[in-house]
Amino acid sequence: MAKSKKTALQEKDGISISEITSNNAIEKLKKKRSTKIDVDTLIAAILSKDITALSRAITLIESKNPKHLEKANRIIKACLPHADKSVRIGITGVPGVGKSTFIETFGKHLTGMGKRIAVLAIDPSSSLTKGSILGDKTRMEALVRDKNAYIRPSASGDSLGGVARKTRETITLCEAAGFDVIIIETVGVGQSETTVHSMVDFFLLLKLAGAGDELQGIKRGIIEMADAIAINKADGDNLKAAKLAKTEFARALHLYPEKASDWQPKVTICSAVENKGIDTIWDIISDYVDTTTKNNYFRAKRNEQNKYWLVQTIEAQLKSDFFNQPKIKKELKKQLELIENNETTPFAAADYLLKLNN
């Protein structure tokens, strides 16, 4: 046992923590409550599935302090070889569709199967509204108490890109901490669904049955992204309408072009409150993972996502480096005034500012 732990720790690139046993790390961590914690201790504790350590590392990722970010980067690097092993599921749907109720029932179903699950969120509005999703402590009460579940509210940030980067990195840490399933929840604010889609293996859209108008008012792109649509609240008087909606969605989905994954998106009904059809959704996801693992799409998609995130990160970094230069800040202000007075064009101003760069 001790031997295998040592081997696992040694795999990590450039970090000499082979001396630290997991228990040791957790003990150290407990002693150093709020003061300085050394990165190696934190890494060892994360790898031995310690939730306190995981939370602290995520806090470092979310920090604006450059010293914290430097630590966060070292932790992420050390965690990377141990990540990549979970199933990442994105869940979206309008407010009130039952996302948190669903995640709670679904999450309990998974922990009941012996899985460890992490629930994260991408909520770009959270910095303004103090969290429209996952911020409310009364949500997912049973799951919060489940020792095999970890729930982390959305990072706040001034841009979707910022929140997204933090969530991407949090996924890596959660995987290194041994979570089997990572659920990422989002509401349909702006581009947040596209962002979640770009970091998950499976994208689940929760819908409600309406009065025959199921296909109206849905952003086409979201249907296209969905690997499954679950019509929630299929209970009581609503059951009939839900079944009807299922037929309509299934028919509509056939009109979309076939996916590169060779996966035909599924439509199903469920009741998060009555715990009905929840097992079917996990069966669909397992089936998806099997199918796409066999045809190599699963791996290929993750590779594509990694490349996409590389480019995204560079773009974000260049942008922030550019706008944070004092001379650019000063000159930008002047150019904006010139534009206001119609004394230059946006393109001439941009050209001027870009040439000032470096």
| Smallest distance, ligand GDP to C-beta of residue 230, A | 10
| Smallest distance, ligand GDP to C-beta of residue 170, A | 20
Question: Nearest 10 degrees: CA dihedral of 208, 212, 217, 221?
Answer: 70
| Smallest distance, ligand GDP to C-beta of residue 196, A | 14
Window 302-341: residues binding ligand GDP (CB under 6 A): none
Q: Verify binding: residue 162, ligand GDP, rule CB under 6 A.
A: no
| Smallest distance, ligand GDP to C-beta of residue 206, A | 7
Per the rule left: phi > 0, alpha: psi between -120 and 50, beta: everything else, 211 is beta
Q: Which is nearer to ligand GDP, 100 or 195 (CB)?
A: 100
Q: Which of 18, 21, 101, 191 binds ligand GDP (CB under 6 A)?
A: 101
Q: Which is nearer to ligand GDP, 190 or 236 (CB)?
A: 236
Q: Which is nearer to ligand GDP, 45 or 91 (CB)?
A: 91
Q: Which is nearer to ligand GDP, 78 or 103 (CB)?
A: 103
Q: Verify binding: residue 156, ligand GDP, rule CB under 6 A.
A: no
| Smallest distance, ligand GDP to C-beta of residue 338, A | 46
Task: Tell me, by CB under 6 A, how many residues bind ligand GDP.
Answer: 14
Window 176-235: residues binding ligand GDP (CB under 6 A): 232-233, 235
Q: Verify binding: residue 275, ligand GDP, rule CB under 6 A.
A: no
Q: Which of 47, 79, 98, 192 binds ligand GDP (CB under 6 A)?
A: 98
Please give the residue whose beta carbon sits closest to ligand GDP in the complex: 98
Q: Which of 9, 54, 97, 182 binds ligand GDP (CB under 6 A)?
A: 97
Q: Which of 22, 48, 86, 100 binds ligand GDP (CB under 6 A)?
A: 100
Smallest CA-to-CA distance from 229 within 97, 132, 113 is with: 97
Nearest-5° Cα angle at 34, 33 to 36: 100
Compute the residue count for the chain.
358
What whole-number distance in Å separates Cα of residue 54 and Cα of residue 66? 19
Which residue type, as a one-letter code, is found at position 73?
N
- Residue 124 burial by Cβ neighbours in a 10 Å radius (0-12, 13-18, 19+): buried
Q: Which is nearer to ligand GDP, 48 or 105 (CB)?
A: 105
| Smallest distance, ligand GDP to C-beta of residue 308, A | 27
- HEC letters along the chain: CHHHHHHHHHCCCCCCCCCCCHHHHHHHHHHCCCCCCCHHHHHHHHHCCCHHHHHHHHHHHHCCCHHHHHHHHHHHHHHHHHCCCCEEEEEECCCCCCHHHHHHHHHHHHHHCCCCEEEEEECCCHHHHCCCCCCCCCCCHHHHHCCCEEECCCCCCCCHHHHHHHHHHHHHHHHHCCCCEEEEEECCCCCHHHHHHCCCCEEEEEEECCCCCCCCCCCHHHHHHCCEEEEECCCHHHHHHHHHHHHHHHHHHCCCCCCCCCCCCEEEECECCCCECHHHHHHHHHHHHHHHHHCCHHHHHHHHHHHHHHHHHHHHHHHHHHHHCHHHHHHHHHHHHHHHCCCCCHHHHHHHHHHHCC
| Smallest distance, ligand GDP to C-beta of residue 276, A | 8
Q: Verify binding: residue 117, ligand GDP, rule CB under 6 A.
A: no
Q: Verify binding: residue 143, ligand GDP, rule CB under 6 A.
A: no
Q: Verify binding: residue 279, ligand GDP, rule CB under 6 A.
A: no
| Smallest distance, ligand GDP to C-beta of residue 59, A | 25
Q: Which of 12, 71, 88, 99 binds ligand GDP (CB under 6 A)?
A: 99
Q: Which of 90, 93, 161, 277 binds ligand GDP (CB under 6 A)?
A: 93
Q: Which is nearer to ligand GDP, 57 or 242 (CB)?
A: 242
Q: Which is nearer to ligand GDP, 236 or 346 (CB)?
A: 236
By CB under 6 A, name the binding residues for ligand GDP.
Answer: 93, 95-101, 232-233, 235, 271-273
